[in-house]
Amino acid sequence: MYFEKKLKKMMKNEISLDISGDISYQTGGTRFGGVPDVPKDFVWPVFETATFYDDEIKNRPLHFLAQFNCAELAEYNKDNLLPKTGLLSFFHITTAECWGFDPKDKGCAKVY
């Protein structure tokens, strides 16, 4: 019973997204893949690594995964853990086996 109470205190609300169906592209909208909406002076993130297709260690561009419009998610943000406005954009190196468990993987993923 002690652990159950402790675990319940740590629980946070989840936000589930349905990404099926036809969705029109909107600048600043929530989406998976494609091209991120970033400022003109945005410097694309890189990570120094070798890849599964090239053993040369060099700076590689991170891959854009998704962006989330925080205003669109606000009504579901029950624990107030996300910003109320703006975009959260997620990038990760997908051509190397970097999972973030090893300290040398620092920088293999970025969130802006």
Cα–Cα distance list, 8 to 1, 5, 50, 82 (Å):
11, 5, 42, 20
Let me know if residue 40 belongs to a domain: yes
Q: Per the domain annotation, does 84 fall within a domain?
A: yes
Query: Does the residue 5 lie in any domain?
Result: no
For residue 22, being part of any structural domain is answered with no
Is 105 inside any structural domain? yes
pTM, rounded to two decimals: 0.81
Per-residue pLDDT tens for 65-112? 999 999 998 988 888 888 999 999 999 998 888 888 889 889 999 999
Mean pLDDT of 4-20: 81
Q: Does 37 reside within a domain?
A: yes
Distances (CA, A) of 91 to 2, 45, 62, 110: 39, 8, 6, 5
- Tens digits of per-residue pLDDT, 24-57? 778 998 888 889 999 999 999 999 887 778 788 8
12 in any annotated domain: no
What's the domain range around 53? 28-111
Residue 2 belongs to a domain: no
Task: Give me the pLDDT at residue 96, please.
Answer: 84
Number of domains in the chain: 1
CA distance 50 to 83: 35
Structure tokens at 25: 């592209």
